[in-house]
Structure 1
Amino acid sequence: MAKGLVVILSGVSSIGKDQVRQKLLDDPELGLMDIISLTTRPKKETEKDGWDYYFVNHKDFANAVRDHRMLEYTEFNGYYYGTPAEHVEFLTAMGKNVLISIEAQGVGQIRIKHPDNKAFFLVPTSLDELEKQIRQRYHADESGINLRMNKAKTELELANIFGTCVPLTSDEEAFNAIKTELLEELKNRE
């Protein structure tokens, strides 16, 4: 049995990659398995533990990092987020293709451990559009807006470590571009 493909989806901060992620997971032709991340941030009222994230305390997260059970991890706003390595290894060993949706900082860690991967990075059509989107979505104060915009600018500098940059003109267009490239990759792996 051939090892499954690791598909990495990332993008600049606050671009809205969750909608594209869900379209990829829902597409039966792609057959991607979701990898659920761990986080130390509090659970939102609408979220379910084990479905949206695995919500853990800082000590448990630190132990997972110490014991090399995290494929990658990063910090944002005082909270940690990471990908459990055992889930990825188990599924890919069974020949399943997995989708890992992560922050840009974690991509290098995964690409080193899984060099045979497909990585996609969602980029805004412009920084002005991204700022407008951040203002609409988060209704944050100016310092919060500036924090997200500065993070996005830093992440754009990391775009060259991705195999493919995909402009997010619309969720549907980004999904179709990624799907086309993934289907070609999967066909070549047969």
Structure 2
Amino acid sequence: MRHERGLLIVLSGPSGVGKGTVRKAIFENKDLDLQYSISMTTRQPREGEVHGVDYFFTTKEDFQQRIGENKFLEWAEFVGNFYGTPIEYVEKTLSEGKDIFLEIEVQGALQVKKAFPEGIFIFLAPPSMSELQNRIVTRGTETEDIILNRMNAAKEEIEMMDAYDYVVENDQVELACERIKAIMISEHLKRERVANYYKRMMEAE
């Protein structure tokens, strides 16, 4: 069953909740026909991250020029760094009838919702605040000041979950992935998404 326009699936949540880990696990499932929209950021790559795969890494000067040229679907400044979603790739993918998956920060997700209210917005939540802090500390990439900033930001972001369609707890990566897959299947089967397909089918007979 083909749809005229793809689904925009947005996964976001507080820093350290495991968005990247869950996203990578979802894309390991070859049965899902998903396109990943790579975000652009001015932060430094973490160990193992690859330019053009995990993020497009760039300078603040280049990023700000792109903002002025309206080349982002959304962008946000978070803990001293910029993050954004290049709009051209997103529009092209959706118009081809393909689903596109965005993994972005909460500020960016709220911007996307204003532009694409028909998107599917999923908030990835930690099992507890203490577990969230432990995950950030375990990274070993942030100073104590940055950890404190991220925890304060996380509390504010969790209060924003009312803007989302679904909340998925990331207690175990495998379970979180299964929940997200179930959401995607359910959304594809919604009456308003498939009605036109069947109307055209009946008209053709």
CA distance in 1, matches of 2:119, 2:47: 34
CA distance in 2, matches of 1:119, 1:26: 21
Structure 1 segment 42-61 matched on structure 2, within 5 A: 42-44=44-46, 46-61=48-63
Runs of 4+ in 1 over 4 A off after TM superposition: none
Q: CA deviation at 1:141?
A: 4.1
Instruction: Point out the more displaced range, 82-91 or 22-31.
Output: 22-31
Match of 2:64 among 56, 62, 65: 62
Per-residue CA deviations over 1:101-138 (Å, capped at 9, x if unaligned) read 00001111111111111111111111122122222223
Structure 1 segment 30-179 matched on structure 2, within 5 A: 30-44=32-46, 46-138=48-140, 140-179=142-181
2:42 and 2:59 in contact (8 A); partners too: yes
Q: Describe the shift of the 1:76–1:30 C-alpha distance in structure 2 as closer, same or farther (beyond 3 A).
A: same
CA distance in 2, matches of 1:51, 1:139: 20
CA distance in 1, matches of 2:143, 2:67: 33
CA distance in 2, matches of 1:93, 1:44: 33
The two structures have a TM-score, normalised by structure 2, of 0.86
Q: CA deviation at 1:140?
A: 4.1
Letter of the aligned partner of 1:57 in structure 2? T
> What is the Cα-based RMSD across aligned positions, in Å?
1.7
1:121 and 1:164 in contact (8 A); partners too: yes
Structure 2, unaligned runs of 5 or more: 195-205
Task: State the identity as a percent.
Answer: 36
CA distance in 1, matches of 2:49, 2:22: 19
Who is 1:29 aligned against? Answer: 31
Residue 3 of structure 1 aligns to a residue in which SS?
coil
Instruction: Point out the more displaced range, 29-38 or 136-145.
Output: 136-145
